[in-house]
Amino acid sequence: MLYRRFGKTGLQLSVFSFGAMRFLASKENAIRTAQAAVDLGINHLETARGYGESEKFLGAALRAGLPRERVYITTKIPPQQDGSAMRRAIEESLSRLGIDRIDIFDLHGINNREQFDLGMGCLPAIRRAMDEGLIAHLGFSTHAPLDLLLETIATGEFESVNLHYYYFNQRNAPAIALAHQLDMGVFIISPTDKGGQLFNPPARLVELCAPYTPIAINHRFLLADPRIHTLSLGAAHPGEFAPHLAVADQGGPLSEGEKAILERLERQYQRVPSLCEQCYQCLPCPEDIHIPEVLRLRNLALGFEMNDFGRYRYAMFGNAGHWFPGRKANSCTDCGDCLPRCPVGLEIPALLKQTHALLYQGERKRLWGSSS
Ligand code: SF4
Ligand code: SF4
């Protein structure tokens, strides 16, 4: 296992972090899974107030023998209405985890302007908790649009950021660059699941990535970038770490073989008919359709046969609040507002209809609802 300095926090974190959101089948399973992570060299355990019993189960794992002095614990709490509510929430998390200091405290879900404003309002209470030694370092997690993500980073208030950035979704590349410029720790949220459900890849993608696996190629794309420090693994049980470990000791530049695979993937992507270039110039849509994200799912389905992933994400439109904003593509009224804004002249309404027909299979909510 490699370790990297997590930006200005100065902490040396393992390049994989244990994301404790899916290990909840039982307390015993949680303890075994957290212990397996530590046995593999993972020293960063990441939970959230909103992940059901996760904080309590991590606390149980610590009481069962997980060496507190060898692990760093992150917990995440959403912005609260005021400082006293935030103070109570911090004390509750400390109590649930059974620890006297949170190593990294993340404001959870700075996803829109309202959450940003609430989060900024909580900073004095968080700073007081830091002065008292209850919190060592402050970061934030986000699913925000890029402009708000950049604005949050640029406040200079945070030492680290948890964000979405993967081979199959590089929209947040400017945020990686700005975080690096400000010497922030960079934590990648769920590279395997949110990064394309790469644990269950379509045959076409397997073929294109061979002799590597899609999981390994995505991990290597991320870890070959020294501005990125740690990737979350949300294992549900001890057996789920194995597919990731092949690259846990590989942090250097991409090999010639890996570069050749990425070039092959790029060539394939460029062949998608009516490829959406992800420039975001078509927004806003009066019907609140997240046109670029809908068409990104289309790109991936047509380019790499990632239809299952597309269905999984598409089903969340309209069901996940500010965590995954926008309505489904069948809300398009053909108003035509977006058409002159698309620099490559895509027939956006027709492509939206096609994508809805391709990916709509029903509704789906986020694992932890819309408030966590
Ligand atoms: S044509 Fe459809 S997608 Fe484009 S702006 Fe109008 S409603 Fe939105
Ligand atoms: S303007 Fe066109 S290319 Fe750009 S994101 Fe929108 S649909 Fe895609």
- 341 Cβ below 6 A of ligand 1: no
- Name the residue of 344, 347, 352, 354 whose CB sits within 8 Å of the most ligand 2 atoms, as the mutation to test its pocket: 344
Asked if residue 243 has pLDDT above 90, the reply is no
Average pLDDT, the chain: 94
Residue 346 CA: nearest ligand 2 atom is: 2
Alpha-carbon span 372 to 175, nearest angstrom: 23
Per-residue pLDDT reduced to its tens digit, 211-241: 999 999 999 999 999 999 999 999 999 999 9
- 295 Cβ below 6 A of ligand 1: no
Nearest CA residue ID for atom 6, ligand 1: 335
- 281 Cβ below 6 A of ligand 2: yes
- 144 Cβ below 6 A of ligand 1: no
Asked if residue 322 has pLDDT above 80, the reply is no
- Name the residue of 282, 283, 285 whose CB sits within 8 Å of the most ligand 1 atoms, as the mutation to test its pocket: 285
Confidence (pLDDT) at 365: 63
Alpha-carbon span 18 to 174, nearest angstrom: 26
Q: Which listed ligand is nearest to 345 at the C-alpha?
A: 2
Q: Is 284 left (phi over 0), alpha (psi -120 to 50) or beta?
A: beta
Distance from Cα 339 to the centre of ligand 1, integer Å? 8
Asked if residue 300 has pLDDT above 50, the reply is yes
Per-residue pLDDT reduced to its tens digit, 174-193: 999 999 999 999 999 999 99
- Name the residue of 274, 280, 302 whose CB sits within 8 Å of the most ligand 2 atoms, as the mutation to test its pocket: 280
The pair of three-digit structure tokens given for residue 320, joined into one six-digit string = 């996940």
CA angle 357, 359, 364 (to 5 degrees): 125
**Domain boundaries of the chain, sorted by first residue:** 3-256, 271-359
Q: Which listed ligand is nearest to 330 at the C-alpha?
A: 1
Between 366 and 353, the more confident residue is: 353
**Quick one: fold of 3-256?**
TIM Barrel (3.20.20)
Q: Is 324 left (phi over 0), alpha (psi -120 to 50) or beta?
A: beta
Alpha-carbon span 258 to 220, nearest angstrom: 8
- 336 Cβ below 6 A of ligand 1: yes
